[in-house]
Chain A
Amino acid sequence: MSEPFAAAGQPVIRAAPRVLALAVPDLALQRGLRSRPGGGPLVLCEEGQVVQASAVARAAGVRPGDSLVQARAACAGLEALPLDRAADHKALQGLAEAMLVLAPAVEVGEEALLLDASAAAVGVSANAAGERRPSPFVASVESGRPLPQGEGCPSLESEARLAGRALEMARRLGYQANAAVADGKGPARALARSAAGGTLVVPPGETARAMAALPLEALELPAAALARLAAVGIRGVGALQALPPEALVHRFGLPGAEAVRLARGEDRRPLVPYLPEALPEEWWDCDAAVENAEPLLFGLRRLAERVAARLAGRGLGATRLRLRLALDPRGEERLFFPLARPSAAAAGWLLLLRERLGELRLGAPVTGLWLAAVEVAEAPPEQLAIGDRPEVARALEVVLSRLAARLGEAALFAAEPADRHRPEAAYRAVSFRPNGRNGARPSPSGRGHSDSAEATRGEGVCPTATPAATPAGIRPTRLLDPPRPVVAEGEGGRLTALRLDGRAFPVLCLAGPERLAGEWWSQRFDRDYYRVRLEGLGDAWVYRDGLDGRLYLHGLFD
Chain B
Amino acid sequence: MTDTKKAHTLYSKKELGQLQLLMPVILLVTVFSLLPLLRGIYLGFTDYRLGDPIAFNGIDNYIQLFQDEYFWSSFRIGMIWTVVVTALQVSLGLGLALLLNTKIRFTAFYTILILIPWATPPIIRGILWRQMYEPNAGAINILLTDVGVISAPINWLSSFEYVIPAVIVAGVWGEISKAAIFLMAGLQTISNDLYEASTIDGAGIWDQFWNITIPVLKPVLAAIVSLTFMWNFNTFGIIWVLTQGGPGGLTRLPMLAAYEEGFRYGYIGYAAAIGNVMVIILSLILFMYIRVQLRERNES
Is A bound to B? Answer: no
- Please report A residues at the B interface, Cβ cutoff 8 Å: none
- Please report B residues at the A interface, Cβ cutoff 8 Å: none
